[in-house]
Structure 1
Amino acid sequence: MTTTASRPSTPDRGPRRTAPAPSFAHLIRLSDDTGLFEHARHAIVRREHGYCTDDVARGLVVASREPEPTEEVLRLAERYLTFLTHAQDHGGAFHNRLGHDRRWTDEPGLGDWWGRALWGLGTAAARSPASWIREEALVAFSRGAARRSPAPHAMAFAGLGAVEVLRRHPTHTASATLLADAAAAVGRPGSDPRWPWPQQGLSYASAALAEVVIAASQLRHDGPPLDDGLRMLAWLRDIQLRDGHLSVVPAGGWRRGAARLPHDQQPIEVAAFADACATAATVTGDPGWEAGVRQAVGWFLGDNDVGMRMWDPSTGGGYDGLTPHGPNLNQGAESTLALISTLQHARRWS
């Protein structure tokens, strides 16, 4: 989680602007020769909090998604890949937290960071223009793909990495098996239209669970029905729209039958929704899902509950959360990566 920061003295309201191109300026600012620092106070790196595999993996995803990366972005991808291969043990699990002193503070495990590491490695293996990055990423992905996590979110993130690999290597058996297991871990939607979600609560990056089911329905001949994933995503979209703009489930989550709080909203939720809508639009050709991508972009530009933009044009950083009083002005890795990821989709659907 992020720390609080001072609020803006003058709310940034006014007319909506065209989505900017994704900027890697703040991501470069947050990175050094080891990896990607997790936290910042406003735009200044907080080195004392060190690095985490979670964020480095997400960094590798967005760097690998760039269709024509600059030399600086390509170097970021290589650096993030090096971090992930160092974090991985011989059995395919990953450390998550590395101190600024370059010492791991935890043991290798199979939590969300394992899933996100596979997502990053799979994306690099499929999309990087550099052959040496693709080859090494595939080796590390294949090692990690032999493992399984008991956590549905971790499995969903890993499954999204498997999706990337299968699109480039359709016969990659370990990816196909992992994707099937990821969709099974998410589960089937329920029959109650008021709560069709497979779990009894929404926590974080919820749309990723729907996305992996949608992708598995297309890439596995014995995968789940496409309607399962689309029904999950449609319900998630409907409950997160307020007066035409996106109002995502807050960091505290939402349990079935409980009151839903409006804040604090996290950029990761918006980015996951953009990813899932982009996948649904590609799979179905339904322009309604393109609108979901535009709503996610709009949330960052100020089309949200408080009418304030969620990024800093002067730094390229994303703000860490939307509170009742406006944005948390800290610009950490997670929020900046969520901004970049969402703006990457805007190239096609803004």
Structure 2
Amino acid sequence: MSPARKTRFPSLEHLLQLSDDCGVIQHATYDVPNRETGYCVDDVARAFIVAARLYLEDGRREARGLAARMLSFLHNAQLPDGRFHNFMGYDRRWLDQAGGEDAFGRALWALGWGLSVPSERGWHRLCTQMLESALPHVPELYHLRPCAYAALGLAQAARSELAAGHAQILEMLGLLTERLLAARARYDSQWAWFETTLTYANARLPQALLSAGTVLAHARATAVGLETLAFLETLTIERGVFIPVGNEGWCTRGGHRALYAQQPIEAGAMVEAELAAHAVSGLDHHRRTAGVAFDWFFGHNSGSAIMVQGGGCRDGLERGGPNHNMGAESTLCYLMAAIAMAAHPVAEQRGVRR
């Protein structure tokens, strides 16, 4: 466990600095928001998850206000046909006709969490309406990560009392689950993965299967989720240190495995996937491995670099050290992981830190 970690739920200091009454500024120059980069659904959806979950788990009033602003952005982003814009300029004009699959999947992920805060009936009604409008587009998803994001959202929605037994939610979750399982079935046991190349947000794929497997009582989804997560561990954990696949070439079967630049999105996703595996299996190995991945943020990484400061996270670990900009995605991936660690049922036993 890294000595640099602090206890309990994380600070929202930097996220609030990146946010305004519209959304979350995408990028920062050092820790100063770079307004010319505008906003995107990709980040606002994750900011809503962070704020809603922190309000749910820790009762913070500033988190509730932030969540309401993020949900307002998502509502404005939804097109009449149920799809979503993604990019908005700082002048609050949409820059696209419609966003891509990642934005759609992350928006559904956020809506699932919007159904999970019992006290917020207004959120429930709006998220239900938005989700029902978006569901007909779920079968159009082709790429695996958007499928995983959407599956995480639908699984979260299905856990809500308001959506329990919702036939279309369960149907679409089943469809996405089978799509992920079909991708895994294309490869043998020597390459227990979904694609020839590991790229970004890798651990979200097994995490989605683990979440869906629990909701649908789908034993094969659970088994494949555990199998693929174990395979990912073999590629990214060396002598007790999490070394995620870098974005300077990724990791291709039988070929190159990039060590840099390492991204916070990988560490955050690994933390949450391992906690999901611990919840399913009860194996302490997964709880410990979540801690190994979380410690990446606190200097237990290949560069011995502290990535977190004031509730924000540096944008990546490069060959020469950390990228000192602290943009939205990096910060949000850290915050999602920190909240998941603090909220996990055995968090107190481990002394979860931020």
> Of 145, 161, 168, which residue of structure 1 is paired with 2:135?
145
Aligned to 1:328: 323
| Total equivalences in the alignment | 334
Aligned to 1:285: 282
Whether the 8 Å contact between 2:237 and 2:243 is mirrored in structure 1 is yes
SS in 1 for 2:72: helix
Asked whether 1:186 is paired with 2:172, we answer no
CA RMSD in angstroms comes to 1.6
Kindly provide the CA deviation profile for residues 185-209 of structure 1, in whole angstroms up to 9, marking residues without a partner as x.
2234356333110211111111111
Whether the 8 Å contact between 2:39 and 2:89 is mirrored in structure 1 is yes
Specify the code of the residue in structure 2 equivalent to 1:292.
T
SS in 2 for 1:293: helix
* C-alpha separation in 2, matches of 1:109 and 1:33: 22
After superposition, the Cα gap between the structure-2 partners of 1:286 and 1:337, relative to the gap in structure 1 and judged at 3 Å, is same
Whether the 8 Å contact between 2:247 and 2:258 is mirrored in structure 1 is no
SS in 2 for 1:342: helix
Asked whether 1:102 is paired with 2:105, we answer no
> Of 269, 277, 289, which residue of structure 2 is paired with 1:272?
269
Asked whether 1:38 is paired with 2:26, we answer yes
Specify the code of the residue in structure 2 equivalent to 1:279.
A
* C-alpha separation in 2, matches of 1:332 and 1:140: 28
Structure 2: tracts of 5 or more residues without a match: none
* C-alpha separation in 2, matches of 1:222 and 1:331: 39
Deviation at 1:28, TM superposition (A): 0.5
Aligned to 1:154: 146
Kindly provide the CA deviation profile for residues 55-76 of structure 1, in whole angstroms up to 9, marking residues without a partner as x.
0000011111121332211011
Aligned to 1:51: 39
Kindly provide the CA deviation profile for residues 115-134 of structure 1, in whole angstroms up to 9, marking residues without a partner as x.
00110111111236422122
* C-alpha separation in 1, matches of 2:172 and 2:259: 35
* C-alpha separation in 2, matches of 1:218 and 1:332: 33
Whether the 8 Å contact between 2:177 and 2:221 is mirrored in structure 1 is no
SS in 1 for 2:339: helix
SS in 1 for 2:58: coil
Q: Write the mapping of 1:217-236 to structure 2, written as runs, cut at 5 A.
A: 217-221=213-217, 224-236=220-232
* Overall identity of the aligned pairs, in %: 33
Asked whether 1:73 is paired with 2:63, we answer yes
Specify the code of the residue in structure 2 equivalent to 1:167.
R
Deviation at 1:36, TM superposition (A): 0.7
After superposition, the Cα gap between the structure-2 partners of 1:285 and 1:57, relative to the gap in structure 1 and judged at 3 Å, is same
Aligned to 2:244: 248
Aligned to 1:8: none
After the TM superposition, which parts of structure 1 deviate over 6 Å for at least 4 consecutive aligned residues? none
Deviation at 1:227, TM superposition (A): 1.1
- Give the structure-2-normalised TM-score: 0.90
Kindly provide the CA deviation profile for residues 68-121 of structure 1, in whole angstroms up to 9, marking residues without a partner as x.
332211011000000001000122110000001111110124410000011011
* C-alpha separation in 2, matches of 1:144 and 1:110: 13
* C-alpha separation in 2, matches of 1:136 and 1:159: 20
Structure 1: tracts of 5 or more residues without a match: 1-14
Asked whether 1:307 is paired with 2:295, we answer no
* C-alpha separation in 2, matches of 1:68 and 1:97: 31
* C-alpha separation in 1, matches of 2:95 and 2:155: 31
SS in 2 for 1:258: coil
Whether the 8 Å contact between 1:296 and 1:342 is mirrored in structure 2 is no
Deviation at 1:265, TM superposition (A): 0.5
Whether the 8 Å contact between 1:180 and 1:223 is mirrored in structure 2 is no
Whether the 8 Å contact between 1:250 and 1:263 is mirrored in structure 2 is yes
* C-alpha separation in 2, matches of 1:254 and 1:128: 42
SS in 1 for 2:297: helix
Deviation at 1:178, TM superposition (A): 1.9
- Give the structure-1-normalised TM-score: 0.91
